Chain A
């Protein structure tokens, strides 16, 4: 066998040539991507700047003065979005887990529950969010049972109702992906049905669907912006208030930027995690 260091020292001329060629190719592709980036940026700028209404659009949407002036107000709104998001996240976690578990039960006695959750997930995945917001956001207060309901709360409830249907389906897929032998092993140790689900099945199921769950969370973050239609004074509504006073839409652009900033760390985290899982799976295959 080669001594490890010995092996390092002698590199054949063929290998040196190959390395040189690979380096050249890398440099070339970097240069090509830079050039194409510049060309495309120039093209976009050229088309925009030559269009007749560009000056007006720039003033209406990208006016730095208005971007800065609307910032404190919109930022206050984003905090409302974050609050609603946090509450909806907890609500969704609980409701979707219940739905997923009910949908994977098999006992005859639980048939009505299974039917209810099947109907629930089917209906709420089909309904547009905006329709849910109008129906629940104005319908429930209209019943006048609970007195006046906080608009933020109503918004959070709507988000929870819709997203629970999606997340429940993702969780169900995860639960069904766990091999039945895991359940058999847990039951044969004497664990009850509930213990098996809680200790053995769910932790594995959630791990399997983490990338999909994170993706749903990112989507949820942006859909929280819709709660303004039921009257919650969030970032979108604050931007609207600013626009109503100034006739300038830059506040909406600022709100959009805030939403992107809010989701960006999570988008990156999702990508990183998915890549990590992929790497690990490929490594397992190699062993």
Chain B
């Protein structure tokens, strides 16, 4: 690991599914404590980008550096890389056969080999902080969508990942539950976490992100501070995307 290196660096990432070119050369750097929001229409490659960084999807070309280490190198141990990256999915993906507390502590116990007491103490601490400590022994389907998503976030951050990937984490939630999840993300930002998030919540991107990236047809069409990308876009495609979005909402 190289302490001076950016947390995440993408160089020329390409990915196709059959004839469909989803990512056509992505270059991106995310520094420590930075929150970067990725916006773009459905099918612009946001989720594929997230999955590629987490090595759930193998890239066709280009390199991915995590703290300076090339994790796209096939000799790298995928499990060790993934343990350093926290991921939160659109549909929470909690394990339905485990209690909330077991969901949250699983990685600490199995991957980092902490004792159960140690892992559970830390798990309870975080569950208490997000106000659902009393649900620790419940199963995921006994929680609301917003609560499940917050548990998923806690599960992702419990093992202190150096990078947090949030993949449209509010898209599957009822509108009145979105707020509680975004508040938690805001807290993580204030705690200094490094976050890369794909989102449709423009207002939230404006408030929380240090940088906004507009992804269009597999390329980064615009990259800059939220005020610029969302308020005064330099590119025609970004303007089109935003005007379509605001006309609908």
A185 to B141, CA, bound (A): 17
Inter-chain contacts of B141 with A (CB < 8 A): 284
Asked, given contacts A185-B95, A203-B97, A204-B96, whether A191 binds B107 with beta carbons under 8 Å apart, the answer is yes
When each residue 91-124 of chain B gets 1 if its CB lies under 8 Å from chain A and 0 otherwise, what string results?
1011111000000001100110000000000000
A6 to B54, CA, bound (A): 60
A199 to B102, CA, bound (A): 11
Inter-chain contacts of B85 with A (CB < 8 A): 188
Q: Check A192 for interface membership: any CB of B closer than 8 A.
A: yes
Q: Check A26 for interface membership: any CB of B closer than 8 A.
A: no
A185 touches B80 (CB 8 A): no
Interface size bracket, B side: 20 to 34
Inter-chain contacts of B80 with A (CB < 8 A): 190
When each residue 47-66 of chain B gets 1 if its CB lies under 8 Å from chain A and 0 otherwise, what string results?
00001001010000000000
Q: Check B155 for interface membership: any CB of A closer than 8 A.
A: yes
Which residue on chain B has the smallest CB distance to residue A187?
B82
Which residue on chain B has the smallest CB distance to residue A284?
B141
Q: Check B83 for interface membership: any CB of A closer than 8 A.
A: yes
Question: Which residues of chain B from 27 to 82 have a CB within 8 Å of any chain A CB?
Answer: 51, 54, 56, 78-80, 82
Asked, given contacts A199-B106, A199-B110, whether A188 binds B87 with beta carbons under 8 Å apart, the answer is yes
Inter-chain contacts of A187 with B (CB < 8 A): 56, 78-79, 82
Inter-chain contacts of A185 with B (CB < 8 A): 87, 89, 93-95
Min Cβ gap B171→A in Å is: 14
Q: Check B159 for interface membership: any CB of A closer than 8 A.
A: yes
Asked, given contacts A189-B155, A190-B83, whether A184 binds B97 with beta carbons under 8 Å apart, the answer is no
A184 touches B111 (CB 8 A): no
Q: Check A200 for interface membership: any CB of B closer than 8 A.
A: yes
B82 touches A189 (CB 8 A): yes
B89 touches A190 (CB 8 A): no
A186 to B93, CA, bound (A): 9
Which residue on chain A has the smallest CB distance to residue B85?
A188
A181 touches B91 (CB 8 A): yes
A190 to B155, CA, bound (A): 12
The CB with the most chain A CB atoms within 10 A, among B51, B83, B86, B95, is that of: B95
Inter-chain contacts of A199 with B (CB < 8 A): 106, 110
Which residue on chain A has the smallest CB distance to residue B51?
A184
A199 to B111, CA, bound (A): 12
Q: Check A49 for interface membership: any CB of B closer than 8 A.
A: no
B93 touches A181 (CB 8 A): yes
Q: Check A105 for interface membership: any CB of B closer than 8 A.
A: no
Min Cβ gap A285→B in Å is: 12
Min Cβ gap B61→A in Å is: 22
B91 touches A191 (CB 8 A): no
Partner of A191, one of B79, B93, B155: B79
Which residue on chain B has the smallest CB distance to residue A204?
B97
Which residue on chain B has the smallest CB distance to residue A185?
B93
Q: Check A76 for interface membership: any CB of B closer than 8 A.
A: no
B110 touches A191 (CB 8 A): yes
Q: Check A18 for interface membership: any CB of B closer than 8 A.
A: no
Q: Check A25 for interface membership: any CB of B closer than 8 A.
A: no
A187-B79, A188-B86, A191-B107 are known contacts; what are 16 more A-B pairs with Cβ within 8 Å?
A184-B51, A185-B87, A185-B93, A185-B94, A186-B95, A188-B56, A189-B107, A189-B155, A190-B80, A190-B82, A190-B159, A199-B106, A200-B95, A204-B95, A204-B96, A204-B97
Residues of B within 8 A of A (CB): 51, 54, 56, 78-80, 82-87, 89, 91, 93-97, 106-107, 110-111, 141, 155-156, 159
Residues of A within 8 A of B (CB): 181-182, 184-192, 195, 199-200, 203-204, 207, 284
Sample (29) of A-B pairs whose CB atoms are under 8 Å apart:
A182-B93, A182-B95, A184-B51, A184-B89, A184-B93, A185-B87, A185-B93, A185-B95, A186-B95, A187-B56, A187-B82, A188-B54, A188-B85, A188-B86, A188-B87, A189-B82, A189-B83, A189-B156, A190-B107, A190-B111, A190-B159, A191-B79, A191-B110, A191-B111, A192-B79, A195-B111, A199-B110, A204-B95, A204-B96
